[in-house]
C-alpha cells in the first residue's frame, strides 16, 4: 500500500544537545495537537467521508502526519542524545527518565501521557473537516511558538518545514470541505 524509503521526509541533523527544547518539542510528539493525534484522527475519519477525493486526502495527510511523528521523534532523540540522568533531572525530565530512560514516549511538554481522547471523529464529514482545519491551525501555532523557543538553526529548519506543511494541510482541508459540502448539497437521483 505504501512505499517506505528509509529516510525522513525532511532531514534532521541536530548537533547540540538541548534538553529543555526536547521537553518543549514533546508536545508535538504526544500532545493533544501533535502529529500522532493528527495522524490517527485523519486515518480514522477517512472512512466516513462521502467522496473518494476526501477519503484519499485524509489518507494522504494522515500518512504524512506519521512521517512527521518520525521527524519529531528524531528531533527529540537528537536533542537528548547522550544526556546524563543529572542533566535530564535539571531540565525537568527526571520523571521522564525514571520511567523511560532516554527512550521516546508519547506525552506532552508537561508530562501528560497521550490519550485516545485527543482524537475526534464524529462521523459527520462537515464537522470532522472543521475539526481538521482547527487541528492544523493549532499545530501551526505550536510550531511557531517552538521556533520562538530556540535559536538553533538545526532545530528551526525542520520546525519551519513542519509549520509549512500545517499550512498546506489547512488549505487542502478547506478545499475538501468545499468539495464535501458541494457533494452533500447536490440533488440525488435514484
Indicate which residue of 64, 87, 131, 166 is catalytic. Answer: 166
Q: How far is CA 39 from the centre of its chain?
A: 7
Task: Report in angstroms the alpha-carbon separations of 147 from 52, 71, 108, 120.
Answer: 36, 15, 17, 27
Q: Which of 5, 86, 100, 136 is catalytic?
A: 136
Residue 169 is a catalytic residue: yes
Reading the block at residue 187, the C-alpha cell is: 440533488
- The verdict on whether 183 is a catalytic residue reads no
Q: Which of 64, 65, 86, 130 is catalytic?
A: 65
Name the catalytic one among 5, 64, 68, 87: 68
Alpha helices in 114-152 (DSSP H): 125-148
Q: Is 130 a catalytic residue?
A: no
Catalytic residue among 5, 35, 70, 148: 35
Catalytic one among 131, 169, 175, 183? Answer: 169
Q: In the annotation, is 65 catalytic?
A: yes
| Rg (the chain; Cα; Å) | 18
DSSP letter assigned to residue 48: G
- What sign does the dihedral 140-107-9-159 (CA atoms) show? positive
Contact 71, 160 (CB under 8 A): no
136 as an active site residue: the answer is: yes
Q: Give the residue numbers marked as catalytic.
A: 35, 65, 68, 136, 166, 169
Amino acid at each position: 500500500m505504501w512505499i517506505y524509503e528509509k529516510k525522513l521526509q525532511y532531514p534532521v541533523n541536530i548537533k547540540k544537545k538541548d534538553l529543555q527544547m526536547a521537553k518543549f518539542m514533546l508536545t508535538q510528539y504526544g500532545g493533544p495537537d501533535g502529529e500522532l493525534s493528527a495522524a490517527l484522527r485523519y486515518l480514522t475519519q477517512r472512512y466516513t467521508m462521502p467522496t473518494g477525493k476526501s477519503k484519499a486526502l485524509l489518507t494522504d495527510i494522515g500518512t504524512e502526519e506519521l512521517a512527521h511523528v518520525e521527524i519529531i521523534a528524531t528531533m527529540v532523540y537528537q536533542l537528548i542524545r547522550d544526556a546524563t540522568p543529572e542533566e535530564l533531572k535539571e531540565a525537568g525530565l527526571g520523571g521522564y527518565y525514571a520511567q523511560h530512560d532516554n527512550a521516546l514516549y508519547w506525552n506532552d511538554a508537561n508530562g501528560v501521557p497521550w490519550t485516545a481522547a485527543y482524537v475526534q471523529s464524529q462521523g459527520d464529514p462537515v464537522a470532522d473537516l472543521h475539526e481538521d482545519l482547527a487541528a492544523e491551525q493549532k499545530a501551526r501555532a505550536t510550531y511557531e511558538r517552538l521556533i520562538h523557543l530556540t535559536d538553533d538553526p538545526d532545530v528551526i529548519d525542520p520546525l519551519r518545514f513542519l509549520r509549512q506543511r500545517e499550512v498546506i494541510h489547512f488549505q487542502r482541508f478547506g478545499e475538501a470541505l468545499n468539495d464535501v459540502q458541494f457533494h452533500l448539497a447536490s440533488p440525488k437521483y435514484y
